[in-house]
Amino acid sequence: MTRPNEELLKKWGFATLAVHGAGGTDPMTGAVSKPIYQSSTFAFKSAESGAAIFAGEEEGYVYTRISNPTTEGLEQEIAFLEGGEAAVAFSSGMAATSGVILALAESGDNIVMCEPVYGGTHKLAQDILPRLGIEARAVDALDLGQLEDAIDQDTVLVWIETPANPTLKVVDISAIAEVTGKAGVPLAVDNTFASPYYQQPLALGAQIVVHSATKYISGHGDTVAGLVVTDQETADRIRNETLRELGGVISTFNAWLLLRGLKTLPVRMDRHAFNAMRVAQYLSFHPGVERVMYPGLRTHPQHEIAARQMKGFGGMVTFFIKGDRSDGTRVLDQMKLCTLAVSLGDCDTLIEHPASMTHSSYEADELTQFGISENLIRISVGLEDVNDIIDDLRQALEIL
């Protein structure tokens, strides 16, 4: 089967598109699953052809750090599902994040970044970029006036994360895109928590989408990778200026694992979201829980924004216990089914303490400022029977 025509593609739902993909079966062999081209180097037909490929005058493969058929297949599929022109695959989510920023910014420039964000992104912005002469300005992206004030003639990028890690704050992508559009500054959205199944930022006005593909796109906790989706010109710039020369290249085997993960993304996300809603509802009425943050709950401060720009609310739940850090530690150590581990998006339910783990790169005053309190616990709700997840939370919370 070759790639379906555009008219048919417009009729298909996301799940069908995820399963059948953008390219159809392999044109050479008919393979339904994209082959793994586990080769570092590719031979040229002739010296003349090799020179033409290096010069960009002829299509072909040289070296897997530059391009690889399996990796290209992954890039084609994620661009297709996100509605972008092109994509670039990286060895990790942080490689993708730094790849975007370093391709667009240079000494004397600034980027504007919403807070909170993933701890690694925060550390990059606050500790690493200043060494390169790049300023990162933290803003509350819910305050459009604050965002507008932070953008000036030296701003080259606005970066948002929604839903945000770990507080699950949701910001209005369309409203922010209107601000950045007027300023002529590209908008990048970390779409890791939502996945392309539940949220498509490019359709809402963003120019760049970033994923830690380690999470929901992989879905099985066995791969570390990052993906960037954008227009062709920006993708070429990112590939040529930061991927190839800095070398954060995804392995072909991991690219193949992600291609497999994309096929099951819709069915997994539906189960994650179903379980997460049940967990969030249970925790909302628990006497030992102070507050629950889940975009699907009407009590979430930005529930209406989430309902407008997301097709589902995802599998992440954040809750605040009635207690302090030591109480939270006791709860985590009491878990029997839920795994005490960082990351998210696995089949297994994962639970962690952001202030001391994923977001420990934040200073104490920053944790307070951005709502990452000591009594906050983050749970990546997995695919187990939801009653078993709730029972585990119930027995662990009995100590409060």
Can you give the pLDDT at residue 64?
A: 95
DSSP code, position 241: I
- Pair type for strands 226-230 and 155-161: unpaired
Give 197's pLDDT tier (boundaries 50, 70, 90).
very high
Can you give the pLDDT at residue 1?
A: 43
Catalytic residues: 65, 118, 190, 215
pLDDT tens-digit profile of 226-255?
999 999 999 999 999 999 999 999 999 999
pLDDT tens-digit profile of 49-63?
999 998 989 999 999
Cα dihedral 100, 103, 106, 111 in deg (nearest 10): -20
HEC string of 79-147? HHHHCCCEEEEECCHHHHHHHHHHHHCCCCCEEEEECCCCHHHHHHHHHHHHHHCCEEEEECCCCHHHH
Q: How far is 263 from 345, CA to CA, in rounded Å?
A: 15
Residues shown for the chain:
400
Q: How far is 357 from 364, CA to CA, in rounded Å?
A: 13
Residue 380 is inside which H or E element, if any?
A: strand 376-380
88's tokens: 């670039």
Give which of 325, 300, 330 is closest to 376, Cα–Cα. 325
Q: How far is 293 from 343, CA to CA, in rounded Å?
A: 18
pLDDT tens-digit profile of 9-57?
778 899 999 998 877 777 778 888 889 999 999 999 999 999 999 898 9
Give 7's pLDDT tier (boundaries 50, 70, 90).
confident
DSSP code, position 187: E
pLDDT tens-digit profile of 132-168?
999 999 999 999 999 999 999 999 999 999 999 999 9
Which pTM does this prediction carry?
Answer: 0.96
pLDDT value at 354 more than 60: yes
Can you give the pLDDT at residue 239?
A: 96
pLDDT tens-digit profile of 91-132?
999 999 999 999 999 999 999 999 999 999 999 999 999 999
Contact 171, 140 (CB under 8 A): no
Average pLDDT of span 72-101:
97
Omega prior to 116 cis, within 30 of 0: yes
What are the residue ranges spanned by the domains of the chain? 6-261, 265-397
CATH of domain 6-261: 3.40.640.10
**The CATH homologous superfamily of the domain defined by 265-397:** Aspartate Aminotransferase, domain 1 (3.90.1150.10)
Q: How far is 230 from 208, CA to CA, in rounded Å?
A: 5
Q: How far is 52 from 277, CA to CA, in rounded Å?
A: 55
> Cα 130–342–104 angle (5° rounding)?
30
pLDDT tens-digit profile of 317-343?
999 999 999 999 999 999 999 999 999
pLDDT value at 3 more than 70: no
